Structures are given as C-alpha cells and as structure tokens.
Amino acid sequence: MEYKYDVFISYSRKDSIIANEIYQLFERKNISCFIDKELIRGGDDFAKKITDAILSSRIFLFLASKNSYKSRFSINEVKFFTDRISRDKDLERDRVFIPYMIDDSPIPNELDYMIGTTNRLNIHEHPIDGILVRNILEILYLYPTSKVKSITEQTPDDEHSFLPKYPDNNLLSYFTGEQHSENFEQIVRIAEGLGYSVRIYESKDSSQFDFIQAVYRDAVTIVDVTVPDDMTLSTVYPILTAHINILNHILVFSDKQYKDTNQVLPLNITPQRKRTNDDRDLLGWMIVQLKELKGLSYERFEIESVEKLADYKDRMEAVMTASLNIHNSQKDEHKNTDKKRVMISYRNSCSKEVELFRKREEAKGEVEIKVLPPGSLCDDYEAHTPMRRWMLVGLLEDHIRSVNEVWVYYNDIYINSWWTLAEMVMVAYINYDRAEKDKVKVKMYDAGKKRFLEENEKGYPAYLHIQLSNIQYQKLARYLSNTRPDTMGPETLHQIDGLKRMARVMRFMTKKKRSFISEQMRPMIEQGVPSDISQEERDKMVSDLLAMYSDPKAIMTYANDAVFKGEFWNNISYQTERVTAAFKDGAVDVDIFMETPMKELTKLKDENLRIAVDSSSQIKLKGKKYYVGEGKQRYLWLATRMGMPTVKDAPGIEIIQTYNLLTHDQIVGMVMKSLL
C-alpha cells in the first residue's frame, strides 16, 4: 500500500516544543510527517483531516506524557488508530504504533490497555536524534529481501539481469573489505527497498579496474573504508582511486566514524558527500543520500577493458566535470537558504561551553552552525610532522570554505595556539580573491562578556582580520597544494627522488634531447591537469610543466622545496612556547606563521616517542621536560596505480599513532580543571 505520510505525530499542544523538534528532525531526514499544527488550516473539517491523516500514515507516533494523557484529542487519536487496527487485518499487517514516553509519568490504566503489549520507547534510553529516528527509518526501509550475492557468487545470468538498459540506471556497487560492516545487511536492504540493483564487490576478489569500471557505470557506488580490527584481513584501500574524492555519486563511510573517536576517515579521503557530526546515524544518512542520488543525471558508461581506458579519457573528464558542477550547484542552493552557515573557531578546552553556545544560537532559527568536535583534526597537545600539520590546515580550509561566517569563541588563551591562528589565516587565504559579497565574515563572541563585540568596539582584536600580500598568498597556495591530503602520500618522496635523478642525467643532454623527454611526459601531464578549468588555463599549465621538465635547474628548484625534505615528512614539530611565535606585537605575522612548522622542528621521530611511552621516560625539548602519552590513531590512504602500490610493500592504509606531549604543570592543570 502507498502511504501519503511516513509518520503521524500525535501529541498534546502543551508538548509543542518537543513535537516540533521531532517534526523538524524527521523532515531533515526526508521522513514525511503529518502534524496537525503544521498541516491543518482554519476552516478544515478537523476530525476528518485527522482520521484521514492517521489512515494515510505508515507509523503512528504517540508522544506519551502527563499532558497527552489529559488531552481528549490525543486519547481519541490513539483510540481511533487502535480500534481500526483491531478491525482491519490489512491495516494491522502494515501499520506500526510507537508509544514514545517523553516524561516519566505513569500511563493511565485505560490507555495502557489500548496500547497493550506494544514496545514502548522512552526519551532517556532512546534519544530523538539517535535511536528513535533510526527505528523509524528501519521500519520504513528495512523489510525482508533476498540474500545479496557477492561478486564471486554471481552467475552469468545474474550479470545480464544486473545490467539494465541505459539511461534507466538503478545499478549500485558496494565495495567492502573482508570484514563486513555491522550495518552491511541493513544498507543493502535499504538500497533494494529504494529500487537499486545491488552488486557486492569483496576486496580480496576485486581489482582497481573493477572500481574504476563501477564508478563510471553505476548510479551509486558505496565504499566501506572501515579499518578492520585484524589488519591481516584485506581492505578496499588497495583498489581505490582518486575518484573516491571527486565523484558526487560515491558514498564513503566507516563503521566506527562518530562512534569510536580513534576511527575516522583517512586524512586523504575527502569525499564530495561527507558525513558530518550531525549525521551520527549512519543508516539515516545513507537513506537521505540514496534518495537524493535517484535524481542525479550525469552520464554513465561501460568501460570495456583496462587496455581501452585511454579511449574513454574525454568521457571520463566529462563525468568528473558534471559531478563537480552538481556539487557546486548544491552548495549554491544551500547559499540561497535563509539561514547563514557558521563555523565556530575555538580552543578544545572550551568544547563544553561552545556546544551550549551552539545550541542556544541555533535555537534562534537564523543560523546553521558547524562545530568540529574537539580533537577531530588535532588535539591541543598532539605532536605532528610539518607535513601532517599542513595537511590538517588544508582540511581546515575545506571546512571554512563551506560557511558564510566564522565565529571566534574568544577567551584569554585563543591566540596562544598556532592551530587557532591557522583558522584566521585560512579565512584570509579564502577571501583573497573573492568579491566582497562572497567573503567569509569573521565575528567575535567574547566568552567573558557573553556577547558579540562590534569591530569598532574597545577590546575587539584587529588581528582577527588578516590581510595577505600576493607573495604570502602564493606561498600559502604552494604549501596547501604540495600537502593536499587527497593527492599527496608517502610515495611523493620517491617520485621527487626520481625527478632529482632525472635532472642530474639531463645536465649532460642536448636541449633537443631534453625537449624530447619532456614531450614523452605530455600524456601523463595532461591527464593530471584539472578538468574543471578553461582550455586556455589547461594549455598554459601543461606548457609551464613541460618547460619545467625540460630544464634540470627548474626541476631541482622544485624538488628542493622544503615540503619535499625528509624531515618535513618524518620529524616531529612541536610548539613549546605558551604563545605561538606567529603572534607578534599584537598581530598575526603570516610569514612567521608559515615558517613555524619548520622552525619548531625537532630531531625526534614517531619511533622516539614510541620508545618514551614504552619506557615511561620523559623527553626534553628546549630545556623543558615532557611526558609522552599515546594520542589518537590517524589514518592515511596509500594510493596504488592499477594494482601496483606506489610505496613498496604498502598495505593500502597507514595507521599513524599520534602522541601527546605534556609538561608536569600542564598535567596538573588538566587534573585540576577536571576536578572543578
């Protein structure tokens, strides 16, 4: 039976606040609802509208409370639903009744009799944005289906039934490691429930070409990048390509994302469709994405064989360009909403008060606020190499680009950290070539005064508005480009070594021979040039790169950049001063900011910190003694090229164990704060 509404919400007017909260959450999750305050207009036949809505809804959600127990309307709605269910077996087979206890008041005997043995949820054990919404989504989409087959179990007949005629493309490929997601069966059932034809690709039986073929052929590709508990099990990482970060119809998830703080996506996997901190319910997020992708209309096609990949170059670029255009148009649509998109810049130690501040401001209904969870990119005392520091700054830039405003949650320690200054520098970087109307605005909230300060008001720090010179902008662009988490991995150092060897050999060649060698590199260079820029820009970029590759001096200048030095990638860089050196004379010195990761370089590497942890010994940096503790695990995807690892013996994923460095005084301060 087709239903007009997914859920009918029965409630007392005195519980309007919580009813509206549930209604708005359901709407965001694409769960259609009937709620009388919203959908019944003056003059309508009230009783008929209510009963029609109840019969037109799959789920009856009763908000049980001391108020609804006294409400004649609520009791009548429950009575009507339960009476009709008991008399009509067809209704009983399909409908679901959910009593949702929003307070601790005992249920009156008469109502308890009507509800009978129905499972009852309560708001304490089943929070609105957690188990309640998940239960609703599972009821709507999780009905029995035939057992899905892995690619190794599918027969030739399956192959033909799996490939419908284009453009009626309902194909969905699901790539999974040897350890399946705990949500594997539910995700497949949800996809089938939405009309997709699902094919499973097990990593141990699949190739990189299988992945490329699937992403260009299928309507949707799902990729489970969960890092297994047993690292001897195969994962999807060796078969992935850069398409995972480019194409809008690829859904990437980790089972433990937003569940285990040590398990997030690898630093250099940054998909177009991102789960956020507000999407903790994986199945709910998956349903919303699969519904949206039903209407995604750019071209798909079948690549016949790996040998013919080059023949499809133009069509592949067209798909990537179309995907990027859709992604940008979605962002533009979001810009046209009434609500401003805001990101809060804050120190991790203020996370609890920032969360309260976020809820208070969002409740006004004027803004959507992004707060990166504390430590999601870097903890306060986490030690990193310069490479990893700049990688994280690049990820920070991506977050800031997606908002209209950055609100600084300001207190006495805000300017102490290089990391918080990085957010202001990235605002300046993003705004550098933007029109005034498109610039990311910065506002300051004074935590002490508990209000926003105006720019011309006493106490407003001018350094929140940074101006970049052209040289500073170009240098920042180089740092961010050469440390991009979606393109740069450990294999880069091997490639740079190869470039240096080539430059040394080219010194003894004639100019004609050098030009010949650089021309041989043209196909590789053209393939690497972005497809979303004008042909004129593409031609110039290719020309400049070919010129560089024919000049050994230019190659060596490029290869000797600081970002390609071994210590930039391998040695620990750490701020030992209370206030970062980048904050100088009451202002942010951008030049010093850029130099700081290398200026704070130490002789220590990760293995030295591991030894300190195992031996419970201290380390000494600039005259200060530090205790070393294990931090979070971060992940890095090690790319492969057509099945061949770019780093020898690469397992596809590198697990980076981070470490926290703290002085005795810092530890005492943290203990005291926790006691307070």
Which tens digit of pLDDT belongs to each residue from 514-539? 888 778 777 767 766 655 566 777 78
pLDDT at residue 346 above 80?
Answer: yes
- 44-53, 83-92, 370-379, 621-630: the lowest-pLDDT one: 83-92
| Whether 528 contacts 487, CB under 8 Å | no
| pLDDT number for residue 528 | 60
Helix (H) or strand (E) holding 632: strand 624-637
**Going by C-beta distance under 8 Å and a sequence separation of 6 or more, which residues neighbour residue 363?**
none
| pLDDT number for residue 662 | 92
Place of tokens 């799996």: 162
| Whether 407 contacts 360, CB under 8 Å | no
pLDDT at residue 195 above 60?
Answer: yes
> What DSSP state is assigned to residue 273?
B
β 5-10/33-34 pair status: parallel
Retrieve residue 34's tokens: 């009937």
Tell me the average pLDDT across 169-186: 91
| pLDDT number for residue 174 | 97
| pLDDT number for residue 157 | 41
Tell me the average pLDDT across 467-479: 92
pLDDT at residue 152 above 50?
Answer: no
pLDDT at residue 44 above 90?
Answer: no
Cα–Cα distance measured from residue 289 to residue 334, given in angstroms and rounded to the nearest whole number: 16
Tell me the average pLDDT across 389-394: 90
| Whether 538 contacts 525, CB under 8 Å | no
Place of tokens 């308890």: 112
| pLDDT number for residue 144 | 30
pLDDT at residue 622 above 60?
Answer: yes
pLDDT band at 370 (very low <50, low <70, confident <90, very high): confident
User: HSE (CB half, 13 Å, CA atoms) of 375?
Assistant: 20
pLDDT at residue 69 above 60?
Answer: yes
> What DSSP state is assigned to residue 414?
G
- 45-59, 100-114, 644-658: the lowest-pLDDT one: 644-658
pLDDT at residue 94 above 70?
Answer: no
Q: Which of 219, 347, 356 is nearest to 292 (CA)?
A: 219
In DSSP terms, 393 is beta-bridged to: none
Report in angstroms the alpha-carbon separations of 344 from 275, 314, 336, 357, 358.
Answer: 18, 41, 21, 10, 8
Q: Please, what is the angle between helix 535-549 and helix 552-559, to 10°?
A: 100
Cα–Cα distance measured from residue 501 to residue 496, given in angstroms and rounded to the nearest whole number: 9
Report in angstroms the alpha-carbon separations of 305 from 152, 170, 209, 645.
Answer: 19, 22, 8, 21
Domains and CATH numbers, the chain: 5-141 (3.40.50.10140), 156-332 (3.40.50), 491-564 (no CATH)
Tell me the average pLDDT across 640-664: 68
In DSSP terms, 343 is beta-bridged to: 370, 406
| pLDDT number for residue 329 | 66
Tell me the average pLDDT across 249-270: 77
Which of 139-143, 249-253, 493-497 is predicted most confidently? 249-253
Which of 390-399, 478-487, 555-564 is predicted most confidently? 390-399
State what percent of residues in the chain have pLDDT above 90: 29
Report in angstroms the alpha-carbon separations of 576 from 386, 416, 581, 584, 657.
Answer: 15, 11, 10, 16, 21
Tell me the average pLDDT across 325-333: 63
pLDDT band at 267 (very low <50, low <70, confident <90, very high): confident
> DSSP assignment of 205-266, as one string?
G--HHHHHHHHHH-SEEEEE-PPPSSTTS--SGGG--GGGGT-TTEEEE-TTTTTSTT----
| pLDDT number for residue 165 | 34
Q: Which of 366, 371, 365 is nearest to 352 (CA)?
A: 371
β 382-383/340-345 pair status: unpaired
| pLDDT number for residue 643 | 43
Higher pLDDT, residue 565 or 615: 615
| pLDDT number for residue 406 | 96
| pLDDT tens by residue, 216-237 | 999 999 999 988 888 888 899 9
| pLDDT tens by residue, 423-445 | 999 999 999 989 999 999 999 99
pLDDT at residue 332 above 70?
Answer: no
| Whether 63 contacts 100, CB under 8 Å | yes
Q: Which of 276, 218, 211, 273 is nearest to 246 (CA)?
A: 273
Sheet with 441-446, side-by-side order of all strands: 367-370, 340-345, 405-410, 441-446, 451-453
pLDDT band at 476 (very low <50, low <70, confident <90, very high): very high
**Going by C-beta distance under 8 Å and a sequence separation of 6 or more, which residues neighbour residue 507?**
552
| pLDDT number for residue 45 | 72
pLDDT at residue 279 above 90?
Answer: no
| Whether 645 contacts 238, CB under 8 Å | yes
Burial of 217: CB neighbours in 10 Å, binned 0-12, 13-18, 19+: middle
| Whether 478 contacts 470, CB under 8 Å | no
Report in angstroms the alpha-carbon separations of 354 from 109, 276, 408, 489, 666.
Answer: 44, 17, 10, 34, 22
Retrieve residue 253's tokens: 């998830």
Cα–Cα distance measured from residue 503 to residue 553, given in angstroms and rounded to the nearest whole number: 7
| pLDDT number for residue 9 | 93
Q: Which residues of 20-47 are buried (b: 16+ CB within 10 A; e: fewer)?
A: eebbebbeebbbebbbbeeeeeeeeeee
pLDDT at residue 641 above 70?
Answer: no
β 197-202/220-224 pair status: unpaired
User: Is the pTM above the cut of 0.75?
Assistant: no
β 96-101/57-64 pair status: parallel
| pLDDT number for residue 615 | 94
pLDDT band at 620 (very low <50, low <70, confident <90, very high): very high
| pLDDT tens by residue, 573-600 | 999 998 999 998 888 999 999 999 999 9
| pLDDT number for residue 149 | 37
Which residue type, as a one-letter code, is found at position 182? E
